[in-house]
Amino acid sequence: MKVAALQMVSGLGLAANLAQARRLLEQAASAGAELAVLPEYFCAMGRRDEDKLQLAERLGDGPVQSFLAAAARELGLWIVGGTLPLASDEPARVYNSSLAYSPAGSCVARYDKIHLFRFDNGREHFDEARSIKPGQASARFALPARDGRLWHVGLSVCYDLRFPELYREHARAGSDLLLVPSAFTYTTGQAHWELLLRARAVENLAYVLAPAQGGVHENGRRTWGHSMLVDPWGQVLAQQAEGPAVVLGELDAAHLRQLRSQLPALEHRVL
């Protein structure tokens, strides 16, 4: 199955971001992708953390969800909308949510980011908990490919990547593709992005598809980019450093079965 990680450099305006996302989705569909995944915050990278509160949507209702459903339906794609702000029961915080859509335009899975990023090195300061409410549960969905293969897909977002227990839960549930839409900072991305992605792939003998924000944004923030597809042996199959791009790669079910047969580490778990 051909898959696409869509790398963006999202700005302040919702309409411009959705237009950029649509162009990339069309490119992915034209290239034969069956699944296209957008990055974290694909619909907006505001000047302040609180800006996302103005874009909050109720589940099943709103311009970003309508955009994702229409694009999936019109392009015949499985689409995962990296993240968008969904309303919570707290006026000052939203969920940072990843939604999966089938080619029929139906939302088939929702994951609210569990682990919230906090970082302070004296120059850069981030604390997502100020405006984001953490989710409480993992989420997965099944994707029937055109060749009849059923792929089990585990959802995660950005900072989740540092918590291997979430991905082990996906592996226990049978996931063979792990999604990591992200907006890693340049500092943390340069240090750990590829290392962590390859580790999650190897330890769970699963493909990892990681679309990212990558470049200098209107708000002045610089994100690391390097969207990539990693195979279950830890090999980087495709990658884009910076700038808007469609990162294409192939998932090979036979390769996955062979690796899991040769090294049945998932069967050797004792915890």
CA distances from 74 to 13, 103, 108, 119, 147 (A): 23, 8, 17, 40, 21
113 part of the active site: yes
- Least Cα distance to 213 among 203, 223, 201 occurs for 223
Catalytic residue among 43, 113, 128, 242: 113
R_g of the chain computed on alpha carbons = 17
Catalytic residue among 34, 57, 133, 158: 158
Q: Which residue is associated with the tokens 């990055």?
A: 39
2 part of the active site: no
How many other CB atoms are found less than 10 A from the CB of residue 151? 21
34 part of the active site: no
Catalytic residue among 40, 57, 194, 242: 40
Query: Which residue numbers are catalytic?
Result: 40, 113, 158
